Structure 1
Amino acid sequence: MPCFVPQNHVVASILAMFLVLAGAGGDARAELMRPFKDEFFAYPKLLASADGGRHLTVDYRIERDLRERDEVPERRVRGRFVDFAPLRAQTDLVLKTDVANVPHVVVGAPETARFIVVYLYGQGGNRNQGMNDHTFGGNFNRLKNLAQRNGGIYITPEFSDFGPRGSRQVASLLSYYSTSAPDAKIYLACGSMGGALCWQLAKDADVAPRLGGLLLLGSHWDESFLASTAFKRRVPVFFGHGSDDRVFPVATQERFFRSILKKAPNYPVRFVRFETGSHGTPIRMVDWRGTLNWMDGVR
């Protein structure tokens, strides 16, 4: 039985893009997430649309979207972009399971969670990266607020590697929180090398049925996804990628995106290309609310 051990305690283009990503039209259900600081985090100008609106190229400018947004570039965002209310519901824990002890940080109330968002960091990261309120333009702070204000939870776990061992550790964490919130869909957001875990968990017969979506942010591709449990269940996939990514070339990720559409033309997949953006740009720029609302609306 697992247990916890506490540790230290242009408006038109923006609207058009949001409607595309949120999958607007027809569904009368309430949105998964209500607006929060949308005026700061909606996408900039739309430059191009392809693949029937599934592939969008948006304008990214380092001067506007990083230097003018951050008080200290890449280290501290300006105060108007953040709200620290979620800190009151943020806890650093260790989950003890038969697989491993899994340190993680959680925001929100697990026992009443409507949905679960999990961020898996890339090479050199840790569980604190996705909980940092000040970096990446305050975008993680927005996600924390969106989760807590809409009855969800947001989790950032630690794991040993990007292979099967790390995958098992994350799966054990997801199993625990799924037991606490059996009706909550899980949305996995994977940055850079963290994508290796996203693709492995997409094949996990226990995890895949609980997935509400996969978000690959400046990450890589995995052709085996096309035979995975998640693919067969039509789990929505979002790709965010900078056009100047020197780690994982955008053209290769775009080819993989289109290979999904080739195999399944109606598959729920979206690609946002941040023109001139670098490797870390998608984490800074992804519109969490628009993307997760779109995934939740997919049938």
Structure 2
Amino acid sequence: MRMSTSHCTVISAIAAFLLFAAVLSASEAARAADALAPFKDDLFSKQTVLQTGDDGAYEVIDYDEMRDINGRDQIPQKRVQQKYVALGVRKAQADETLSLDGIRLDVTRVGQAQNAAFTVIFIHGRDGDRRLGANDYSFGGNFNRLKNLVAGNGGVYYSPTVRSFDSNGVAAIEDLIRYASAQSPGRPIILSCASMGGQICWGVARDSDSVKRLNGMLVMSGVTDPDFTRSAFYKAKLPLWFAHGSRDPVYAASDQQALFESLRKASYPTRFTLFQTGNHGTPIRMIDWRRVLNWILAR
């Protein structure tokens, strides 16, 4: 059967449209997977992967104290070399005391307070306060990178002081999540917790009201929650990233890895980064914030 020139033109147009739609879809997917513009990736993101598993969800990263602390810091564990930091972000930084439902919460905020593209909240461990998550020079400059990644991409970063790691501490962070959501309605919120701060993450994961506002969590060097699968966070299937040092003397990496493996078997969206020979504070120093945030934001 012969087709007229008009028919050929229509078919060609449809084919072109479908091809354009496919390219557009692929382009949108690529942008979603790479949402945050780079910041000093040549210094922070070029890590050697020793082992992978679970289709890339599990990875073992090479860590060497002499290279990653002594070779990186001007004063080991206290002050990183200047090339790892960019201090212009301090212009967007402020110490604030928020009044949240009768609770006064001290925070360091970096980035715009309202209409932020996304929010990142970091919870410190025992003996810490808001200064830990805002320190530009400690932990190899990794918090300075986080601040620049968030503020530079139109987001807002909160480093609060958690006064107790019990129900009161959990309630304070739940209030902060509600506050951040009200400041930037409908925008993603990512919660990250380190060490004993992990208890705050697990507590918040049980609160359905907070979970409605969250988009994912990062747990570094933290305690394991054996009841996580009963939480509202688990039921919502929000992405969860674990990071741990293999020689952590405080909380065993094997405990978190066992939880990760059980979640993988249940087809839960999760990732696990193990730093080979890493200690308790290694993930805070070594975690690639851009990879983690992009992965959570893409989901």
Q: TM-score, normalised by structure 2?
A: 0.88
Corresponding position of 2:228: 225
User: Could you say which residue in structure 2 is the equivalent of 1:53?
Assistant: 56
Q: 1:80 to 1:27 in 2, by over 3 A?
A: same
Q: Name which of 37, 41, 47 aligns with 1:38.
A: 41
CA contact under 8 A between 2:105 and 2:172: conserved in structure 1? yes
Larger radius of gyration: 2
Match of 1:155 in 2: 158
Counterpart of 2:96? 93
Structure 2 residue matching 1:49: 3-state secondary structure: strand
Moved over 3 A (4+): 28-31
Amino acid at match of 1:286: I
Q: Structure 1's 242 and 25: CA in aligned 2 closer, same or farther, altered over 3 A?
A: farther
Give 1 or 2: higher helix fraction. 2
**Aligned mates of 2:230, 2:251 — CA distance in 1:** 22
Deviation at residue 43 of structure 1 after TM alignment: 4.5
Instruction: Supply the distance in 2 between the matched residues of 1:180 and 1:99 (Cα, whole angstroms).
Output: 18
Question: Which of 74, 77, 82 matches 1:74?
Answer: 77
Cross-structure match for 1:173: 176
Aligned match of 2:6: none
Task: Work out the CA distance in 1 between the residues paired with 2:44 and 2:90.
Answer: 20
TM-score by length of 1: 0.88
* Unpaired runs of at least 5, structure 1: 1-23
- C-alpha contact (below 8 Å) 1:99/1:169 kept by paired residues: no
Query: 1:111, CA displacement in angstroms?
Result: 1.0
- What corresponds to 1:27 in structure 2? 29
Deviation per residue, 1:50-109 (Å, 9 max, x gap): 122111001000111110000000000000000001100111011112341111110011
In structure 2, the partner of 1:213 is: 216
Question: 1:276 maps to what in 2?
Answer: 277
What amino acid is the match of 1:104?
V
Structure 2 residue identity aligned to 1:204: D
What is the percent sequence identity of the aligned residues?
A: 41
Q: Partner letter of residue 287 of structure 1?
A: D
Q: Helix, strand or coil: the match of 1:110?
A: coil
Structure 2, unaligned runs of 5 or more = 1-25
Q: In the comparison of the two structures, how many residue pairs are matched?
A: 273
Distance 2:163 2:47 in 1: 37
Query: Over aligned residue pairs, what C-alpha RMSD do you find?
Result: 1.4
**Partner amino acid, structure 1, of 2:53:** A
**Quick one: which amino acid aligns to residue 284 of structure 2?**
I
Letter in 2 for 1:288: W
Would you say 1:105 and 2:116 are equivalent positions? no
Higher relative contact order (CA 8 A, sep 6+): 1
Letter in 2 for 1:38: D
> Could you say if the C-alpha distance between residues 291 and 174 of structure 1 is closer, same or farther in structure 2, counting changes exceeding 3 Å?
same
Deviations 1:170-222 (A, max 9, x none): 11122112101012211111000000000111111111011111101111210
2:218 partner SS: strand
